[in-house]
Chain A
Amino acid sequence: QSALTQPASVSGSPGQSITISCTGTSSDVGSYNLVSWYQQHPGKAPKLMIYEVSKRPSGVSNRFSGSKSGNTASLTISGLQAEDEADYYCCSYAGSSTRNWVFGGGTKLTVL
């Protein structure tokens, strides 16, 4: 069982917007603005899409945005495109020496 809770799947049509939630606790998501999101296509390595809750690394489309409220972080993808179909994982710093970073179980995004 993953430390952070994500929906197993979400779907949307091209051009639409979707939001993926990531629920943690007051020990991780709720305590730190150190939430990141990763995109993973089948057979590929994950790619950092959002860090520090809402910042985008260079080269990541501004269609991707992040936010946080309390113990729940969210990733929103606007203007869905076929290439957005992938697995998405959230991650939070959790502060202890044996639990530094915790991941969500992943969300499969299907573009209809």
Chain B
Amino acid sequence: EVQLVESGGGLVQPGRSLRLSCTASGFTFGDYAMSWVRQAPGKGLEWVGFIRSKAYGGTTEYAASVKGRFTISRDDSKSIAYLQMNSLKTEDTAVYYCTRDLQPWIQLWFGYWGQGTLVTVSS
């Protein structure tokens, strides 16, 4: 069974940093691209970014709203994806979800989701 478990959320002041983790199980982690999607309180979904599998270079793409501030990385030996968030703004307050596609190698759909972790940016 595919499982994605996010951790690392919490309350952080504007301008500070936070790192989220997504621990995966139930599949060969290294074969899959991994994405992050967020949802501000009472609002809709927003794609944050994704990281390709090593077979496709392990490269990353980010939404314009977080590019230059957020970094996604992966540790295939531990089956963990990370979201490093720097220079946080109040508008980054959201539940952050880790997601995986239905199929390996590509990133087209958000087929599996974790339970999400809440990040609150406030002074």
Contact = CB atoms under 8 A, between A and B. Distances in A.
Contact of A98 (B46, B63, B102): B63
Interface stretch (A12-20, A43-51, A65-73, A78-86): A43-51
Interface residues of B, number: 22
A97 B107 CA distance: 13
A105 B44 contact: yes
The winner among A46, A98, A99, A101 for most chain B CB atoms within 10 A is: A101
A89 B44 contact: yes
A103 interface: yes
B97 to A, nearest CB: 6
B interface: dominant SS? loop
B56 interface: no
Interface in B33-68: 37, 44-47, 50, 61-64, 67
B114 interface: yes
A103 B63 CA distance: 12
Contacts of A34: 108
A106 B81 CA distance: 27
A51 B102 CA distance: 10
Contacts of A36: 109-110
B30 interface: no
Contact of A46 (B45, B67, B108): B45
Given A51-B102, A103-B47, A105-B44, 19 more contacts: A34-B108, A36-B109, A36-B110, A46-B45, A46-B113, A47-B113, A48-B112, A51-B108, A57-B111, A89-B44, A98-B64, A98-B67, A99-B63, A99-B64, A100-B63, A101-B47, A102-B47, A103-B44, A104-B44
Interface of A: 2, 34, 36, 38, 45-48, 51-52, 57, 89, 91, 93, 97-106
Which 4 interchain pairs have the tightest Cβ spacing? A45-B113, A98-B64, A101-B47, A103-B45
